[in-house]
Structure 1
Amino acid sequence: MSTLVDIFIPDLGADKDVDLIEIMVEVGETVEVEDGLITLETEKASMDVPTTHAGVIKEILVKVGDKVNSGDLIARVEVEEEGATEEKVEETPAAPAQEQKTEEVAATPAADSSEPMGLEAAEAELKAISAAGAEISCQFVNEQTICSVVEEVHVPDLGADKDVDLIDVMVSVGDTVEFEDGLITLETEKASMDVPAPFAGEIIELSVEAGMKVNSGDLIAKMVKTVVMESKVPTPAKKEEPVKKEEPKKTTTVQEVAAVSAPEATSVLTEKAKKIYASPSVRKVAREFGVDLGFVKGTGRKGRILKDDIKAYVKEQLSKPAVAAAGTGTGLGFNFPELKEIDFSQFGEIETVELSRIQKISGPSLHRNWVSMPHVTQFDESDITEMESFR
């Protein structure tokens, strides 16, 4: 089955009646999540509005030249419901499936356990892991075989690139990471990329450091993952197990929260950062929005810039013109009186020509600079008698 989903203009801050300068899709076109639909232009920047759902464009309710605002309806997308998800999951190999359900089974052995794994399948699993050269230690607890496996994580295939710069190590020994969490960041001549964790586990050894040159297949780290294999269906009666008690959360006052959150109220850095840590996908979004990543404040691990940081930066930048307009003017100390309208038709026939958008934007800035800059002409006198005699 398929459903129609409405796509709306996102929050534009204080901007109103924003110009729609381009429609990037057509009716009947198939789009993916984050694909651009339309392009909006404000006084300070242009931005693409991406789709929030993947599907087929069924109706476009705007056109080029329209003035739009936050919450306006853009288009309707036909989204197909996923029906073959379970079949695809069943076709995956047994080993990855066991790796992904490790923590879930360990946390709730009675309620959320999948189909039990027989002894023969468990032995085959252990043999496969042992053949790969991994260190294994197993124990039998509550009708379950729990094995701790130490595996190595290597640099993936980098193609033709050699001696690639390692610019950032995102984890340290003792950290617990999830599947697809970033471990290190590599930078080639064309792009930077994060190397993700191939499975969830704990970092027990790091073999690299920032500033190194690495190649395909180099050892990054050693990680411990837990594999739970059931030899018998656990009974609900044995549900009581020692559970780690969470430490009581420290109560914080409103003043403490305000003190912590106050410095992070802005998404804009006052000075341009010397080093920028962002993934290629984030850099692509920044290029689409025309954002200089040097001034974006990152909220990810170790100050990494995320897509949400760019959106927050753009939203804050778009709200600045309205704030400036509500002030005293240019902020240069000149409070000029408003000019009275003059009826130029009294001097003869006139023609009114609308300014282009760039003229409307640049005109006030040019006037402000002309008024604020010092107009100075300097004259110096010099005696050139000897020079004239020499000539």
Structure 2
Amino acid sequence: MEVRLHDIGEGMSEGEVVQLLVNPGDVVTVDQPLLEVQTDKVTAELPAPIAGKIEDILVSPGDVIEVGSIMVTIAPTEQFQQATESEEHKSRKHHRILAAPFTRKIARENGVDIERVKGTGPAGRVMDEDVINHMKTSVKKPEPIQHKKAERKEESSQPSSKTIPFKGRRKQIAAKMSKSRLTIPHVSHFDEVDVSNVLEMKALLEKRGTSISVAAFYIKAVCIALREFPVFNSELDEKEGVIHLKPFINIGLAADTEEGLIVPVIHQCDQLSVKEIHREMKRLYEAASTNKLLSKEMSGSTFTISNAGPLGSTGATPIINYPEAALMAFHKTKRMPVVGEGDEIVIRSMMNLSMTFDHRIADGALSMQFTNRVMELIEQPALLLMELK
């Protein structure tokens, strides 16, 4: 029985072997985890499709393999399905350590055998701090320098460059961004919006015991505007010669994680209140940071939002999340003097934003109308709270 890598993500083409969970000669049961594989979106355990004995393992940790590649071979027999393990087999059976994928990554990249790390988490789970502490207590003293054997480098010698792996999620992101950039004629425009009223409303709600992030207000404004300008919630099918206006609004949230950029999705976002958007956004970001997002939570977006402001960005020209039609980015907010009513100079909180769209399906004038509507809703947050759905 050949166990091959199948598509465990949305349209994945390859995956990286993270960890082997069995050894050649092991007796396994149906659905017993064989190995961990990481794609550009998820880290998953691949189970045994049958009960039997592991004949051969054809991959190693760190290998990047294509979908369809043979990873493990299993000899299925009644004997192995029913037999109890011998004492010798028990002595070399793989011990399953409880640890999150990111914790395993820390151990792997620092050459730490995670089975030797004592876990302090629930049920003995190995935490990030456990790996770091293990590294501190097991550092070996450096070998004494053998000056007699050392050779002095010539003055003209150049230091060698360092390398980092270009594979797994990083490679998948590169492929998708390249396809988007080469396929879609991108156009971006910029504006600034007064978010003073949103910040005041957020502070007022917090005094009353309700915490809602400002980003939830921005997302709700985008949803309302997308209902009024559905062409930006669409997908172009050049082969059929049609633009599909999506009947639902699923907002993708560009999220920066240790493993790279991923886009969790708030499904049916236009049907949620500002408070509900905040809760779902918080849940998805937490799942993304711990690599626990489900495949369905990272697929089906119709419009993507990038909230780059907390990182300090004042402007950018983001690449559209193919095959979507547009993307809006919210940038840094700063207090600055503006001209108010009666030409009076007042201090307001102003935020930069950028709108990037597919020039095949819309022109600049329509994009500016859409952006102006989003800005109008952000500047009048009471309108957003009135929208129950």
**TM-score, length basis structure 1:** 0.26
The structure with more helix, counted as a fraction of residues: 2
TM-score norm. by structure 2 comes to: 0.26
Larger radius of gyration: 1
